[in-house]
Amino acid sequence: MGRHLYIVFFLLVVSLLGTLGFILHREVNPEWRRHQEEFFRGEKKKVTEALADADGAQQADLLKRLRFLERPRYIIRQILLDGGRRVDRCVTCHLDLKLLGEKHSKTDRFPFEEYGCTVCHGGEGRATELKRAHATLYIPRRPLYEYQAARAAGNFKLDLFHYNASGEPIPYIGSNRCLGCHLGSHPGHVARWRELKFKPLDRVKKKLEALQKGGLELDPARCLACHTTAFDQKTGQYLEDRVTCESCHGPGGFYADLMAGGKARDGAEMARDNILGTRSDRVCLNCHKPDRHVDYEGQDQPPVLTAAHLAGASPPEIDGSTSDRIWGGVREIRVPTWQLGDGPPRPGKEVFLRAAYDDGYIYFAFRWQDNTRQDRVGRWLYRDGRWRAEAGWPDALALHWQASEQVEDFQQGGCAVLCHTSGRFKEFPRMATRQEDALVDEWYWNAFAAQRAGRPGDGFLDNRVVFIAPGSKKPDYGWALPGVSAAHGNDESGRRIPETVGAVPMTLNVEEMPEKGAVPRLHPEERPRAPRPPGGESGQKELPLYETGIAEQGDSADILGKALWVDGYWTLEVKRALKTASKRDVQLDPAEKSYSFGLAVWDGAVGNQHQVATLVRLRFGAK
């Protein structure tokens, strides 16, 4: 018995010594050291071969390099990120700095000492064994600057909301990881998000089951795609059973690592770009489209405006009043709008519409509540011995029509598509179409320019947007700058008139004086106009920031219209020929089944906040 115990004890000691020897061998000769030994042997061979053909100073440099390679330092190399809270040891094995420099030509923008490797390529930065270090290497070996350049191009073929610049899917990470930081850093944003009344998924499923039992053939994937996060159409699986951060910002497997790694600012920029960048409007319209519930509820159908045929009756007088006899026999519809601004959209004003037509013209009557009449686009105020520019926004209404055959997503989002396509919250907010050949016809009335010009504007929107570099806007002018237009004007050549608001020609009433800076240029009320005397000697304390003294040009005057404000309501009448000579105008044919237009109204008393109706459908009544 004792002998057997000695044998067992001997075997245990041998096993222990063997295990200890194996551990010591690995510690003395770790995997990363073998990588470095192989690298240094290769470099030594290259230098030795180069010495055979070297001479002079080159030979001295090579000998110095050879002495180092004969006694190399085998150490763990690492980069400390995020104030030392994160370690990146990839350079322990990736020692060829020349090769890294060739593959990362933008190291001046993204230096390794700030970003490391894992922030772009994924992987486990602390690990020094190949298998563990590369276990989560899900982001391809493509530098961050290439990804950002692809995002900024706008015409990149890949959907960079779900895929990276190499075409591989970006993983979802779940809202818990997002909230782990943003509950503390952005509590207000998180609170607003949680206040949104998204129906719980169990209620959605019960509604779906009830509809299917009632005989409706509905695809469950159609419901789950909007009411879950990271829904996979192929497998029917999803990550979270509600609408969460990544539903709008896109899968966070890339930008979340940036936030937690070398530079949080770059990750935040990408998260914002997923909403406000190349596919901004489509992020919303994936779910918020007019026909999403039309099969069983019907409330998602766009309102239908039927234009009544005058049948020989006298057309309405365009005077801003709907007292004409003809309007009494025309059906009025009510169009709801949504208030856009900070936080979630809120219900806006209701706009009441009527329409009529004859063989040559179409007539519209719009009516909406506005408790405060606002009829200026900024003004000059003389206070404390100097003139100051005060920005302002007038009450306004706009219609947008497809002038070309197809404007991408217009049937889903109406004029909201035009705002967000160009990156509404980027360097400078300008409406535009997404495609090169797409044109939108804009009918635009506001209580300043249109009232003074005696007509609404008839402009167009294309895909060209002029951005102004950050910091170049002069604060004295507020948002208003010469040479920039909210909508493009029309003339005979189709060129854009820059000094316009809604295609109504305007000029900025300002001049630069060396001693006084920006001041009003003229007294617009005087005829003939005389230079404004310096200071406020004339006694006037307020002057317009804009004038409307440019003559009409080309087809920008195709539309006639007038508005009146009475007892807290605006009433606007509009008249335009069914067909015009301009290719930038929508051509209306009563024989067609229907047309669609976007509608928006502005309440200038509360600033540049507008209420938008997604889409309105126009039909022509029988003759």
Residues paired with residue 613 on neighbouring β-strands, in sequence order: 599
Q: Is the pLDDT of residue 565 over 90?
A: yes
**Higher-confidence position of 3 and 41:** 41
Q: What percent of the chain has pLDDT over 90?
A: 18
Q: Which range among 194-208, 306-320, 455-469 shows the weakest confidence by mean pLDDT?
A: 455-469
Q: What is the mean pLDDT of residues 31-42?
A: 88
- Which amino acid would we find at residue 559? I
HEC sequence for 29-47 = CCHHHHHHHHHHHHHHHHH
Q: Is the pLDDT of residue 582 over 80?
A: yes
Q: What is the mean pLDDT of residues 301-310?
A: 91
Identify the residue whose tokens are 């989002």.
413
Alpha-carbon span 121 to 206, nearest angstrom? 43
The CA-to-CA distance between both ends of the chain, in Å, stands at 116
Buried b (16+ CB within 10 A) or exposed e, 222-254: ebbebbbbbbeeeeeebbbeebbbbbbbbbbbb
Q: Which range among 3-12, 332-341, 435-444 shows the weakest confidence by mean pLDDT?
A: 3-12
**Higher-confidence position of 121 and 467:** 121
User: For residues 21, 22, 25 and 31, what is the CA-based torsion angle, rounded to 10 degrees?
Assistant: -170
Look at residue 365 in the predicted model and tell me its pLDDT: 97
Q: Is the pLDDT of residue 542 over 90?
A: no
Q: Is the pLDDT of residue 618 over 80?
A: yes
Locate 44 and state its tokens.
């030594």
**Higher-confidence position of 19 and 400:** 400
What's the pLDDT band for 364 if we cut at 50, 70, 90?
A: very high
Alpha-carbon span 159 to 165, nearest angstrom? 9
Look at residue 478 in the predicted model and tell me its pLDDT: 39
505 burial level (CB within 10 Å; 0-12, 13-18, 19+): buried
Look at residue 474 in the predicted model and tell me its pLDDT: 46
Q: Is the pLDDT of residue 277 over 60?
A: no
Alpha-carbon span 405 to 396, nearest angstrom? 27
Q: Is the pLDDT of residue 330 over 60?
A: yes
**Higher-confidence position of 339 and 300:** 339
- Per-residue pLDDT tens digits for 128-138: 888 888 866 65
Look at residue 525 in the predicted model and tell me its pLDDT: 47
Identify the residue whose tokens are 């309105």.
616
Look at residue 214 in the predicted model and tell me its pLDDT: 82
CB–CB of 364/573 below 8 Å? yes
- Which amino acid would we find at residue 609? Q
Q: What is the mean pLDDT of residues 273-286?
A: 64
Locate 55 and state its tokens.
């001479």
Residue 513 DSSP SS3: strand
**Higher-confidence position of 579 and 281:** 579
What's the pLDDT band for 87 if we cut at 50, 70, 90?
A: confident
Q: Is the pLDDT of residue 216 over 70?
A: yes
Look at residue 101 in the predicted model and tell me its pLDDT: 76
CB–CB of 477/571 below 8 Å? no
DSSP type of residue 253? T
Alpha carbons within 13 A on the beta-carbon side of 482: 9
Q: Which range among 295-299, 319-323, 324-328, 468-472 shows the weakest confidence by mean pLDDT?
A: 468-472
Alpha-carbon span 240 to 251, nearest angstrom? 12
> What pTM did the predictor assign?
0.66
Q: Are strands 396-402 and 440-446 parallel, antiparallel or unpaired?
A: antiparallel
**Closest C-alpha among 389, 375, 408 to residue 520:** 389
Q: Is the pLDDT of residue 523 over 80?
A: no
Alpha-carbon span 170 to 71, nearest angstrom? 44
Alpha-carbon span 582 to 554, nearest angstrom? 9
Count the residues in the chain. 623
Locate 247 and state its tokens.
């539903």
Q: What is the mean pLDDT of residues 9-16?
A: 80
Alpha-carbon span 117 to 299, nearest angstrom? 51
Mean pLDDT of the chain: 78
Residues paired with residue 601 on neighbouring β-strands, in sequence order: 397, 611
**Closest C-alpha among 241, 305, 209, 247 to residue 597:** 305
Q: Is the pLDDT of residue 535 over 70?
A: no
Question: How many other CB atoms are there within 10 angstroms of residue 67's CB atom?
Answer: 10
**Closest C-alpha among 331, 372, 327, 330 to residue 349:** 372
Look at residue 153 in the predicted model and tell me its pLDDT: 62
Residue 237 DSSP SS3: coil
Q: What is the mean pLDDT of residues 36-60?
A: 85
Handedness of CA 180, 181, 185, 189 (dihedral sign): negative
- Which amino acid would we find at residue 154? G
Locate 372 and state its tokens.
């405060």
Look at residue 265 in the predicted model and tell me its pLDDT: 75
Look at residue 472 in the predicted model and tell me its pLDDT: 47
What's the pLDDT band for 337 if we cut at 50, 70, 90?
A: confident
Q: What is the mean pLDDT of residues 171-188?
A: 86
What's the pLDDT band for 247 if we cut at 50, 70, 90?
A: confident
**Closest C-alpha among 301, 274, 291 to residue 420:** 274
Per DSSP, the residues of 392-444 read: ----EEEEEEE-SS--TTHHHHTHHHHHHHT-TTSSS-----SSTT--EEEEE
Look at residue 531 in the predicted model and tell me its pLDDT: 47
**Higher-confidence position of 374 and 191:** 374
What's the pLDDT band for 167 if we cut at 50, 70, 90?
A: low
Phi, psi of 612 (to 5 degrees): -125, 135
Q: What is the mean pLDDT of residues 458-480?
A: 56
Q: Which range among 301-310, 311-320, 520-529 shows the weakest confidence by mean pLDDT?
A: 520-529
Look at residue 489 in the predicted model and tell me its pLDDT: 61
Look at residue 568 in the predicted model and tell me its pLDDT: 95
- Which amino acid would we find at residue 564? L
Q: What is Dmax (Cα atoms) for the chain?
A: 127
Alpha-carbon span 500 to 24, nearest angstrom? 79
105 burial level (CB within 10 Å; 0-12, 13-18, 19+): exposed
Look at residue 526 in the predicted model and tell me its pLDDT: 45
Q: Is the pLDDT of residue 586 over 90?
A: yes
Alpha-carbon span 561 to 453, nearest angstrom? 10
Look at residue 527 in the predicted model and tell me its pLDDT: 44
Locate 119 and state its tokens.
């922030």
Look at residue 62 in the predicted model and tell me its pLDDT: 83
What's the pLDDT band for 36 if we cut at 50, 70, 90?
A: confident
Can you say how many angstroms the Cα of residue 272 is from the centroid of all Cα atoms in its chain?
A: 8
User: For residues 341, 345, 347 and 349, what is the CA-based torsion angle, rounded to 10 degrees?
Assistant: 40
State the alpha helices, DSSP H only, in 136-290: 144-153, 175-185, 187-195, 201-213, 220-227, 245-249, 255-260, 264-276, 280-285
Q: Is the pLDDT of residue 585 over 50?
A: yes
